[in-house]
Chains A and B, each alone.
Chain A
Amino acid sequence: MSYNNQEFPKYMQTAGKISVLTAIVGLAVFIFAFIVDVGQQEIQKVSAQTASTSLQVLNTPPTFLVEPFEVTPSSTSTPTNSGDVVTWSATGNDANGADYYLLICSDDTNPAVPTNGGAPSCGAGAIQWGVSIATPSDSPATVSTTTVEFADDAGTPFAESNDWFAYVCDGDPSQAECIVTPSQGVVATGSSPFNMNQRPVLTSATPAGTINPGDALTFNSVSSDPDGDPTDDDIFLVICANPGDYNTTTNTCDANFIASTTGSAITNATAATNTAAILRDGTRPARAFLVDQHGHEASNNGLDVEYTVNNVAPTIVSGDVTLNDGDDLVLTNAAAGETTGFTLDFTVTDANSCVNTSDTPGSEISGIQAAIYRTSIGTTTGGGCNPTDSSYNPNSCYESSQLPSVWNLSCTASSTSCTGATDDTLIYECTFPLWFIADPTDDGPHVADSWSAAVAGIDDQFATSSLTQGDTPVALLSAPYFSLVTADIPYGALAPGDGFSNLGGPTGSASSTIENIGNTGLDQELDGTPMCPGFVSSTTDCVLTPTSTATVFAESQRFGTSTSITYAGAGSFALPTTTFALPAPLDLNVPETNTTSTYALGVTYWGMLVPSQITVAGSYTGLNTFYQIVDPDW
């Protein structure tokens, strides 16, 4: 068999030649190695002993199975308050299955320093936030550190923002190792740095001043917050009544809340509130508490900021004053005395409440002033009807500065109208008398006038309200009362045909006197019955025939206002006969009485002429009637 070599590739032409050459070269090298003593010692040794192998595997550092994180994540918005504990947690894995340590350092400039058989430490220059106890591999390790207020202590390691680097190290007895590259965590708010919040600083706190009930109450403070990352913290001033009222968890008052900062402040926080409309006067307890926006309180919280509620004068509003229940004043004493039982009702209001600290109902409002007066007189001092002026006048002004023996205003504070410290009202019910000479306002010179009441309240510190006039004045009615003081008509013994030449008789003593014991001017009308021995009560008891010898007709009596008037002269009037003629008026013009003890008087003088046809001797009886009328001109 023959091959055409020219038709095959090159390698087909050299096949076999290379293999032989390679074998030969290999053999030559082998022989040379033995002959020329390359690596003689080893070869001789091996050749002299049994062959064995040896390998030392070095310790490797643990690794993070779970990356480190802050158990309570902190950030600039949720910092850890000074004094609170910062805790880290991570899970390490040691390839050797050995325990490991979690080490938290502030810096990674220098690597952590492992300790053979013990806990590692941070590298030089780094603050060691903490190191865990030896923790089995694959189990979580935790590290904690308690923060402190760094503003108060320059030596504290803490700052507002604190970097941290977490290492896992083992405690290999001979070759302890730490992870070369520390971790800063991967969870957003749980990663480095951890943020701290310092306490706000409350230097001082004071109330803005004394207040009246219902006023705005403001508490000021000198206060600040040292934190500024990324911006200054807001601070809030909270005011509670007592130290124990403040709740450090809710950062407000559990009870007795007074005020707190509204809006935001980064320095000198204030707290304001509108006080209740009804507040007892006196000093009130208050405590100031400063808290920042992260709920961290100032270290000296609870500063005493007691404030004072002023005593304010009582007030009375016009519609709360009612005179005589809206009824007209009617004088009903026709014995020249006082008419009692008029009423005055009013409500006194005191913003300091109706009770003082004694808690006795009505104790805050200790007294009242009152005036009952003809309205046009008013209550201005120096001319009006005002209790401070002692301007009492029984005609037109009754005021409460008078002793009860002069004017007995009797007032009772309702025992049920004052219900406690949140009640500002006390209702008074009064009764009072008016003298018979009190000016009428339904007629006469004061017809356009009325009667009003004005009252003032006095509190337990003698603060007095203004005198407030009621809205509903009333009329005082005309009361034309009179009495006969001397109705002696001493006609004496007269024979038929005899009589007086002048009214009043020879001595002027035949007169009748009326007293004005009412409140108007008076005139008078008169009539009378005939006189006869058989008279009982009426005109018809006598024989009325003109020629009767036992009847002295009424017209035999004449009357007038002066003794200078002759019996039948001008100014002398015949007495009309009762029921048969209208009474005859007599213009006595008795003025209004102006004092309670001296009465205006009116005297009527009488004259008599015994008719000559009278033949029956004896005692003659009759009945004259005095009608009082209001003098239209008084």
Chain B
Amino acid sequence: MNASVRNFVVVLILFPVFFLSVGIDQLHAGFGITPPYVRNSSLTRNAIYEQQILLVRGDPSTAQVAEISIDAPELAGWIEIVGGNTIELPVGLQKIPMTVQVRVPADAEYQDYSGAIRIRTLPAGDTLAKGSVNISLGARVDIDLTVIDKRIEDFRVRKISLTDLNEGSKVGWLFFPGKIRFDMLLENTGNVEIAPSKVEFKIYDKTGTTQLEEVSNIGAIDTIAPYDTETVAAEIPTRLPAGSYIARYRIYNGDDLKQEGDLSLNILPEGTSQAAGFGFVGLSIAHKISLLLPIFALLIAMLYFLFIRQKEGKR
């Protein structure tokens, strides 16, 4: 028997190599991510953008580990997974957040960027079945980013709410109006800090047919950082007495009407609510003048008096 024949016999005897079929008990033990993307079309240079992605699994009865790899050559150095590229999926936890952070370099080209982040789950420790083609479930996160050389000032209204307020109060001749606190949960969908330019209320009687008052916010509204979602408040004066009303609100971004709708407005008798009312800033122009004029007059008189005294002293 020559060598080649001998080898053939050996192989024939010693093998077959068994690739065992792998019966995977994975029924509904699913896996996935949400949302399956990192997406932003209004990034600017030096911007920092974070996107949270949930890793979700159907059966959290065993501990696992998620290995994350970033496949985005154009974005090398821009993207990282906060907390590292390995995330533990402990027993009992069905959803685990993963935060992707994008740091746009100062010299980034103004263009579209794409890539992918892959997440692969593995059994924790050395628990792979021997002699098997083990299966790992994974997911791909698509990256679609655009760096632009343009200011985008925009926001989305996610939620609005009103709290009950006290009616206005009178102190002497001064009327301090009630303070409507109009909370807005806003998502900054632009790339610069932003706040609503104006919030306008038309307040109607309970039937919504008779307009009783039209007012706008006093003072500035806090701004929201780019890509953030926060609650900000507009403070709006009202001189209406206690009662139930319907407020027709309008939220503006510059001249653009971003949102409008109706809200129930409850004004409580003075002193009912703990919420503070307006101070000096809420006074009408006439009342402000009536308060400031005597003070200014007194100051001017004092200055004049001092001036005269000084002049006489020089003599």
Contact = CB atoms under 8 A, between A and B. Distances in A.
Interface in A609-634: 610, 614-615, 617-630
Given A317-B263, A334-B56, A617 B32 contact: no
A621 B134 CA distance: 7
Contact of B130 (A477, A619, A629): A619
A347 B54 contact: no
Interface string B99-143: 000000000000000000011101000101111111111111010
A442 interface: yes
A629 B24 contact: no
A351 B264 CA distance: 13
Interface stretch (B41-49, B242-250, B275-283, B300-308): B242-250
A396 to B, nearest CB: 18
Contact of B21 (A474, A481, A492, A496): A492
B244 A424 contact: yes
Interface stretch (B9-17, B166-174, B214-222): B9-17
B264 A349 contact: yes
Given A351-B206, A487-B22, A494 B31 contact: no
B95 A536 contact: no
A334 B139 CA distance: 13
Interface string A580-592: 0011000000000
A525 interface: yes
Contacts of A617: 14-17
Given A327-B158, A583-B118, A481 B30 contact: yes
Given A214-B206, A335-B58, A471-B261, A621 B136 contact: no
A599 to B, nearest CB: 9
Interface stretch (A123-131, A201-209, A318-326): A318-326
A485 interface: yes
Contacts of A487: 22, 24, 26, 135
A493 interface: yes
Contact of A325 (B57, B159, B263): B159
B285 interface: no
A496 B32 contact: no
Contacts of B159: 322, 325-326, 472
Nearest to A550: B17
For B71, B94, B207, which residue has the most chain A Cβ atoms within 10 angstroms? B207
B249 A490 contact: no
For B17, B71, B128, B261, which residue has the most chain A Cβ atoms within 10 angstroms? B17
For B23, B59, B130, B134, which residue has the most chain A Cβ atoms within 10 angstroms? B134
A277 B244 contact: yes
A621 B131 contact: yes
A185 B28 CA distance: 113
A623 B128 contact: yes
A326 B19 CA distance: 52
B284 interface: no
Interface string B39-82: 00000000000000010111100000000010100000000000
Contact of A471 (B34, B118, B134, B160): B160
B188 interface: no
Interface in A468-504: 471-472, 474, 477-496, 498
Interface residues of B, number: 75
A628 B138 contact: yes
B222 to A, nearest CB: 17
Contacts of B252: none
Contact of A518 (B32, B59, B140): B32
B91 to A, nearest CB: 16
B185 interface: yes
B259 interface: yes
A532 B232 CA distance: 60
A349 B245 CA distance: 11
A483 B26 contact: yes
Contact of A621 (B69, B132, B207): B132
Contacts of B36: 478, 480, 520, 629-630
A483 B262 contact: no
A334 B27 CA distance: 11
B139 A332 contact: no
B266 interface: yes
B56 A479 contact: yes
B29 interface: yes
B271 interface: no
24 contacts: A277-B244, A278-B244, A319-B160, A333-B56, A334-B56, A335-B30, A336-B30, A442-B35, A483-B30, A485-B27, A487-B26, A487-B135, A489-B22, A494-B15, A494-B18, A495-B12, A495-B17, A536-B128, A537-B126, A537-B128, A610-B17, A617-B15, A621-B129, A628-B31
Given A319-B249, A481-B32, A525-B118, 14 more contacts: A277-B206, A319-B160, A320-B262, A334-B31, A335-B29, A425-B264, A478-B34, A481-B58, A494-B16, A620-B19, A625-B135, A627-B140, A628-B32, A628-B137
Across the A-B interface, give the 6 residue pairs with the lowest CB-CB distance, nearest first. A326-B159, A619-B131, A481-B32, A335-B58, A483-B30, A326-B158
